[in-house]
Each structure stands twice: as C-alpha cells, then as structure tokens.
Structure 1
Amino acid sequence: MPIELRFESTLAVSPGQAWSWITDIDRLREEMRPWLRMTVPAGIRNLEDLAFQPGEPLFTSYLWLFGFLPLGTSRLTLRELNPGVGFVEESPMTGMRLWRHERRLEVQGSGTRVIDRLTVEPLFGAPLVRLFLRLFFANRHRVLRHRAP
C-alpha cells in the first residue's frame, strides 16, 4: 500500500527565487544534509540545464544514508518540469516499488509556498520508511525556511 505524505512551507521570497533554489543541484543537496547524500555527475548544476525528456532517466545517482552508509541508487527521472511552477520526479530507486515526488510553487501573499507531495511504495519496512521520510522532508523544509531572509 502506498505511503502518501505532504509538506509545505511559505517562504518570504519571490517565486523566481524559490524556483532557482529548488532546481539548483547544490541547494538540493544542501536540503538533504545530514540525512542523505546524493551523487550527481560532474558538471550538472541545475535541473533546467539537463536535456529533459519526460519519463527518461537523466542520470544515476548513488544514495548514502548520513553521507557514508550506502542505500542504493536512484535513476533520476522527471515526468514534468514546468519552469517557475514545479516538477514531478518518478525515479526508479533501490528498495522502492514506487517513488513519486511532486514539488510545486504557489504564490502566497508576498511570498512563495513550496509544497512537496510524496507517494512511495517501499518493498519492505513501510513504517520505518514513513518515519524516515517525515524526518527527512521536515529537515528539507527547515533548511528552506532558514535560507529565506
């Protein structure tokens, strides 16, 4: 049975600024620390720089729990990439029957709301995966909120 989770934060930045943050590889990796480290091929700086074909893997990334315990791989695959609006990632991933991450931006007053929706189906350990994802994405949103002035 799939796990569905939602996380959101309102940031005191323009949608353009928020978009630059959520597509910048270094900023994405910063959001993941200290929980997870994800490798990215040399030279990739931004999701928008990639030759995007919906549903086609962009690259294979190695995932490391706490930066040093190997978790497996993810074949980063975007279904949608809508500049200034958001993206949908559906990546084949070790230990998952399904990994779907939707990240959207919405104008919220004078700021921008970042909304993450996850639908995942782990092969095993669903309660542990749910707990990990809650902690991991709560941290990602904490990093986003601290980044905003």
Structure 2
Amino acid sequence: MPLMFELASPLPVRASQAWHRTTSAEGINDELFPWLRMTTPAGMRGRTLAELPLGERLGRSWLLALCVLPVDADDIMLAEVGPGYRFRETSRMLSMRSWVHERTIRDTADGFCEVRDHLTFELRGPAAWLPGCDGAIAAVVRCLFRHRHARLARWARCTALLITPPIDSK
C-alpha cells in the first residue's frame, strides 16, 4: 500500500536560487547532513537536471547513514523536469518498491519562494508486511524531509543575509 505526504516551506530567496541549490549534489547532501549522504552516479556528475535524460535509469546512488554506513540504494530515474522549477523522480530502492519524489519551487508574492515536496512510496520486503513497520518508516521519512526543509531554510537565511543590499547611511 503506497504511503504519501507533502511538506511545504517558505524560503527568503528567489525560486531560481533555491532551484540551483536543491538540484545540486552539494545542496542535496547539505539538506541530508548529518544523517545521510547520497553518492552521485557517474552519469550524473557535473550535469544539471536539464542535461539528464528522462525516463532512463541514471545510475545507483548509495544512501550512507551518518555519511559513511551504506543503508540503502536508490536506482535514480528522472521522470519529469518542469514546467518551471519542478522535477519528478520515480525510482526504486532496495527498501522501496517505488519512490516518487516531486519537488516544486515557486516564487511567492512577497519576493521569496516556497519549496514543496510531495512523496509517495511503497515499501518492499518485511517492512511491507510486518505490522506497524510501514508507519514507523513513514515517520522516519517525514522526519528526514522536515530536517531537509530546516537545513534548506538555514541555507536560505544565510544566503539572504549575503545578498541583502547595504543600508544607506545618508
């Protein structure tokens, strides 16, 4: 049975800045730090999402707990990019029969942006049929994405401070 949830956060930067950060290997790993790190498949290194083929397996990314211990693997497939600042990843993991992560970033009326993640996933193996296991794993995924949004908000606040024009002292 698929599990799903959605999370949205306002950020004090423009959507284009947040998009550049959240679609880079450095940005993804900063969001996950210190709990996880994802390796970058060779075919994705140095390429933007716009340069990657859609609907093809892009390679295997290892998920490393505490940045060193392999705990899962993600066979990454990018299903859609756009319109605007949006991607939809449809992958399989060792622990998940399916993993669909859609991220949309849009500018808001106040000159900032909102990042929204929508996740749908289906467990495989014992986690799929052991009572209570699905709820526990769903809670861990929700906590991880709340952590990712908090890390992203921290980055955005620091970035906003760096680009704020100086106060005129006249």
* TM-score by shorter chain over 0.5: yes
Number of residue pairs matched by the alignment: 148
Q: How far apart in 2 are the matches of 1:46 and 1:83?
A: 19
Q: How far apart in 1 are the matches of 2:83 and 2:49?
A: 8
Please state how far the C-alpha of 1:118 moved relative to its aligned partner.
Answer: 0.3
Task: Give the structure with higher Rg (CA).
Answer: 2
Q: How far apart in 1 are the matches of 2:6 and 2:136?
A: 17
Please state how far the C-alpha of 1:29 moved relative to its aligned partner.
Answer: 0.9
CA contact (8 A) 2:50 2:81 kept: no
Secondary structure of 1:77 counterpart: strand
CA contact (8 A) 2:41 2:58 kept: no
Residue 17 of structure 2 is aligned to residue 17 of structure 1: yes
Residue 154 of structure 2 is aligned to residue 146 of structure 1: yes
CA contact (8 A) 2:7 2:117 kept: yes
More helix by share: 2
CA contact (8 A) 2:16 2:85 kept: no
Q: How far apart in 2 are the matches of 1:23 and 1:103?
A: 10
CA contact (8 A) 2:3 2:120 kept: yes
The CA deviation string for residues 77-110 of structure 1, in whole angstroms up to 9 with x for no partner, is: 1001127421000111111111000000122121
More strand by share: 1
The AA in structure 2 aligned to 1:91 is S
Please state how far the C-alpha of 1:11 moved relative to its aligned partner.
Answer: 0.8
The CA deviation string for residues 113-143 of structure 1, in whole angstroms up to 9 with x for no partner, is: 0000000111212122111111100110001
Tell me the equivalent position of 1:87.
87
Tell me the equivalent position of 2:116.
115
The AA in structure 2 aligned to 1:146 is R
Secondary structure of 1:76 counterpart: strand
Tell me the equivalent position of 1:4.
4
Secondary structure of 1:121 counterpart: strand
Q: After TM superposition, list the pairs within 5 Å mapping 1:31-110 onto structure 2.
A: 31-41=31-41, 44-48=45-49, 50=51, 52-82=52-82, 84-109=84-109, 110=111
CA contact (8 A) 1:92 1:99 kept: yes
Q: How far apart in 2 are the matches of 1:137 and 1:72?
A: 17
Secondary structure of 1:117 counterpart: strand
Q: How far apart in 1 are the matches of 2:90 and 2:48?
A: 14
Q: How far apart in 2 are the matches of 1:70 and 1:29?
A: 15
Q: Identity of counterpart residues, as a percentage?
A: 34
Tell me the equivalent position of 2:137.
129
- Flag structure 1 segments of 5+ consecutive residues without an equivalent: none
Q: How far apart in 1 are the matches of 2:74 and 2:28?
A: 15
